[in-house]
């Protein structure tokens, strides 16, 4: 059974999406302080910048959510 060929246009779109997601991940990690990132920032930069799973995991569990702002009353 021959393997199916992937349409080059679809492959191009997937590669561009991965590149954009990786660049956004690296930029976000770089602009956050270490206290705002779960785990080592270098790990997230390398892993999130090179593959889709790393990027998805960074955006779902790697970022710490900011504390809610209270009015102080």
Question: So what's the pLDDT on residue 71?
Answer: 73
Dist CA 28 CA 36 (whole Å): 11
This prediction's pTM:
0.79
pLDDT-based confidence at 73, cuts 50/70/90? low
Q: Which tens digit of pLDDT belongs to each residue from 22-33?
A: 999 999 999 999
Domain boundaries, the chain: 9-62
């Amino acid at each position: 059974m021959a393997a199916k060929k992937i349409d080059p246009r679809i492959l191009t779109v997937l590669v561009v999406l991965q590149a954009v997601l990786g660049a956004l991940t690296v930029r976000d990690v770089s602009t956050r302080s270490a206290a705002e990132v779960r785990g080592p920032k270098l790990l997230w930069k390398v892993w999130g910048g090179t593959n889709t799973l790393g990027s998805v995991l960074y955006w779902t569990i790697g970022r710490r959510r900011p504390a809610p702002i209270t009015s102080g009353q």
